[in-house]
Amino acid sequence: MTIALAATWHPRGEMPRLQRLMPTLSNVYAHIVFSLPPDAPADVVERLPTLVDWDSSTTNHMAVIINQDWNAGRYAAIRTALTAGQANHIAYADLDRLLRWVETRPEEWHSSMEAIQRHECLIIGRSQEAYRTHPQALVQTEAISNQVVSYFLGQAVDVSAGAKGFSRRAAQYLVDHTQPRRALGTDAEWTILLKRAGFPVAYIAVDGLDWESADRYQLKAADEADQRRAAAKYDADPKHWARRVEVALEIVQSALDTMDRDMIYG
């Protein structure tokens, strides 16, 4: 079996780390899709296709999408991963989180990518150790949205780390039966929709999805001390709390809307 990567990325200085880790990524993923916002730096867009000198004998290749509407970023990543390659499974991730995971806990990342290929839909959440590194603005607001989604899925999950895996059949169902509306709401919409359509939804929690924002514009992943300092600074700004309330509301509203939908079963 093969697995493709569908990644959204709002570049914030990760290019040197991506360049360093790209050979590792290309050894695991048969196809890599980068979905970027409309204001992505031109130099980043130009450099992406040059990161790996793809051997003509391998199936590895890359697609780069520049979205005119950033709300379409996740949807476009999944759709392109389906149409541009023939992988059996698709891993979705926010690239900044993925880079930290690959850099700090490569064995756990490898085993999680193998786990994706055993499931129709796999939610990859954060362990208690991973959540401990996050600002309280995220911890307290995500507790609400995670509780709502967990209720509708019938199992305790953390959906807000973004990381998920889908079989090709499940990913095609999502592309066929969703539209790019609320970007972060897909954390609820995709998983609940698949559950309602009869796809089994599995869950694992990992340490490697610890807080990634402290890594921005750094040449390597931040250590625990840097994470703590960045988290305290984040929590000290009321605008961040307000934003995280908006995100939680978007996820909860998407969950409620998805439960109200008329279903077409796969």
Q: What is the pLDDT of residues 221-244, one digit of tens each?
A: 999 999 999 999 999 999 999 999
Q: SS in 3 state form for 76-144? A: HHHHHHHHHCCCCEEEEEEHHHHHHHHHHCHHHHHHHHHHHCCCCEEEEEECHHHHCCCCHHHHHHHHH
Give the residue-averaged pLDDT of 54-60.
51
Non-local (6+) Cβ contacts of 24 within 8 A are 102, 106
For 195-227, the pLDDT digits (tens) are: 999 999 999 999 999 999 999 999 999 999 999
CATH number of domain containing 59: 3.90.550.10
Please count the structural domains in the chain. Answer: 1
Domain-embedded: residue 265: no
Residue 95: pLDDT over 90: yes
User: The domain containing residue 239 runs over which residues?
Assistant: 3-260
Residue 106 belongs to a domain = yes
pLDDT digits (tens, 9 = 90+) for 4-21: 999 999 999 999 999 999
Is there a contact between 200 and 264 (Cβ–Cβ < 8 Å)? no
* Placement of tokens 């450099």 in the chain: 47
Pick the closest to residue 78 from 164, 137, 206, 197 (CA basis): 164
Does residue 266 lie within any of the structural domains? no
